[in-house]
Amino acid sequence: PQLRELLADIVPQRTSLENFELEFDFPVVGSKQLRFNARQIESAGGQPPLILLVIEDLPGGTKI
């Protein structure tokens, strides 16, 4: 929920997301530590803005 809120604020508030880390438990691979970075990208031709989202798999986060 916290990540969703941060992403939802990027376009209306013209903010960015820098080095936000979360740990997820995946059924097959186990626990992963992930880092998220995001920012708004202006679209051409009057299209709505887009969000560029980068997800980095951090070393040492896997517990298989």
pLDDT digits (tens, 9 = 90+) for 3-36: 999 999 999 999 999 999 999 898 998 899 999 9
The first and second tokens of residue 28, run together, are: 């097959």
CA 18, 20, 25 angle in degrees (round to 5)?
150
What's the pTM value of the predicted model, to 2 decimals? 0.80
Nearest CA-CA partner of 15 in 32, 39, 44, 50: 39
Task: Give the model's pLDDT for residue 35.
Answer: 96
